Chains A and B, each alone.
Chain A
Amino acid sequence: MTVVGLHPEDLFDKLLDGELLPVERERLRAHLQSCEVCRFEYAARLDFQAEALELSAAKLPPSLPLRPLPLVDAPRASAPPERPRASAPPVKSRRRRSRRLVWGLAAAALISASGAVASSLTGQAPWRTVAQMFSSSAVPADESAPTVAKPARAARVVAPVADLDALLVDATPVVASVAETTPEHDAAPASQAATPRAAQARGSRPSASPVAPSPANDDAAAKEAPIKEPTSAAKLFGEANQARRSGDIGRASGLYHLLQDQFPGSAEADLSRVTLALLLLDSGDAQSALNGFERYLAGSARGLEAEALVGRARALGRLGRRDLEAAAWREVQRKYPRSLYGRQAGERLLALGQP
């Protein structure tokens, strides 16, 4: 049987969004076993993800847009390392090299592009350097400009199902907060910014978005909308995920809690426990995250056991409870020895001096 045209792209998307139901997970796993192209793609995604993590440690800021790809136990691939922390030390040599390249390129561009002031380029971020090269005059578009769609389509409203900004801002694997990247907020250290976000995520009910929305902004309008009485667990789960993607952590957290209160036995409620715990972990509230992972593991659901075990280990690590963290990683290693998580556990145990 050919699988042309039958690649489950939507399941890949749901996997990335943490919305894959157990039955869908099985479907995806079965497809991966039969389709070498999708298996290759899945593995390649993990490969590029691992490379991006390496890159982020070397040269990208903490706001690296990265949405980790969860596991479905199918292909062999490189293990993604632990997500980078905001406190990861900069790699000075890379920065020096980068600065040197900025200088070299700036000098070359000065020849071809007018308006640059060479003396003002010293020691600046690359985007600032490039911006200054164009500061004095309008520059004509060149052949690199992509062909744009017809102007008539500009007014079309695109449903904010999965906002790119959620990738650029909210899906950061560290404590970078909404406030850090919102124009209405001044700069704040990540450690300070983590606190209100964690408080938002802990809240039992959603709060209004701290971002002053534009009336034309669908995402903002969605944030301000009151929580409607749900008609099903699936709908509530979808609303919560939508809020999470659009960066409204408080609303997402409240909806996840509501889902767990109203549909405690549903598959969505089980999934939401891990999703919420991950949200809390990324928000800097490791203790609440740990509680969430342990509640999930104490239940009967096993669809996200691997993720919950890894989450628990990471939360213990954030809390500085090294012995318990090592024990948690050993459990990951014992239960999932051949998975990426098993490799991740091995690497972490090695780092802890307990291989």
Chain B
Amino acid sequence: MSIAPAPGLPSNEESARELATRASSGDLAATQDFLAYVWPTLTRVAAGVLGARHAELDDAVQQSMIALVRALPAFRGECHPAGYASRITLRVALRVRRNVKRDANRREALEQLSSGEDECAAVGAPSEETLGSRRRELLRELLEDLPEEQAEALTLRVVMGWSLDEVARASGAPVNTVRSRVRLAKEALRARIEAQPALAELREEP
């Protein structure tokens, strides 16, 4: 099985919109191409919310693609198709994350995390890898609690590395609105960091 996207995918926003429009009309070939086009983006968003090694990542990506195809008829071409897909994936991934938290996997994961932290404490300062993992986890926890628009802006900006303009085009909102959402999300992030003494090392000045 080749997982490389097929050639002939859109090279710009206009052709991506056209492809999305054709896909929304039920064109199978267009739907395949459109999913191939957005698949890397969907995977990165889902991995950003769940983690690259999360057991449910593949399922979340699949669910996102299904949700995207179902939602295509509602796509009016008012934002970038990849942004539209990212927003759907964010919702699906957050839902998966919440579901996972409710089952036994959550307890197991927390136990592992807890034992890992104890080991770190025993041997001294946490490694960079551990800190990076904690930072990602803190962001993911925060995404669950933020208003949807702020979670979306923060995900696209921090996880995907998109500029304010790009986030604005993805979400169909003015740049200043996105700027405001990012600012509010960062204030929530500040509160989250300050509320966790265990994250003190993340706040050290260089």
Within 8 Å by CB of B1, from A64, A75, A99, A216, lies A99
Given A10-B164, A41-B186, A63-B40: A144 in contact with B67 (beta carbons within 8 A) = yes
Q: Is B147 an interface position by the 8 A CB rule?
A: no
Question: Which residue from chain A places its CB closest to the CB of B46 in the assembled complex?
Answer: A55
Tell me the count of chain B residues lying within 8 A, CB to CB, of chain A: 97
Q: How far is it, in angstroms, between the C-alpha of A167 and the C-alpha of B52 when the chains are bound?
A: 20
Given A55-B43, A55-B52: A131 in contact with B69 (beta carbons within 8 A) = yes
A145 touches B71 (CB 8 A): yes
Chain B 104-124 per-residue mask, 1 if CB under 8 angstroms from chain A, else 0: 000000000000000000000
Q: Is A224 an interface position by the 8 A CB rule?
A: no
Q: How far is it, in angstroms, between the C-alpha of A168 and the C-alpha of B187 when the chains are bound?
A: 30
Within 8 A of A (CB), among B114-155: 128-129, 131-133, 135-136, 139
A-B contact pairs, 11 of them (CB 8 A): A40-B203, A50-B132, A58-B52, A59-B3, A125-B3, A127-B39, A133-B69, A159-B165, A185-B8, A214-B14, A214-B15
Interface residues of B (CB under 8 A from A): 1-16, 26, 28, 31-32, 34-37, 39-41, 43-44, 47-48, 51-52, 58-59, 61-63, 65-80, 82-84, 87-88, 91-92, 128-129, 131-133, 135-136, 139, 158-166, 168-173, 179, 182-183, 186-187, 189-190, 193, 202-206
7 closest residue pairs by CB, A with B? A127-B35, A187-B7, A145-B71, A78-B132, A144-B67, A47-B132, A131-B31
Q: A124-B1, A126-B3 are in contact. List 19 more A-B contacts (CB 8 A).
A: A40-B202, A40-B203, A46-B132, A49-B161, A52-B48, A77-B128, A77-B135, A97-B58, A101-B59, A127-B35, A140-B73, A141-B71, A142-B71, A144-B68, A158-B168, A163-B13, A163-B166, A164-B162, A183-B9
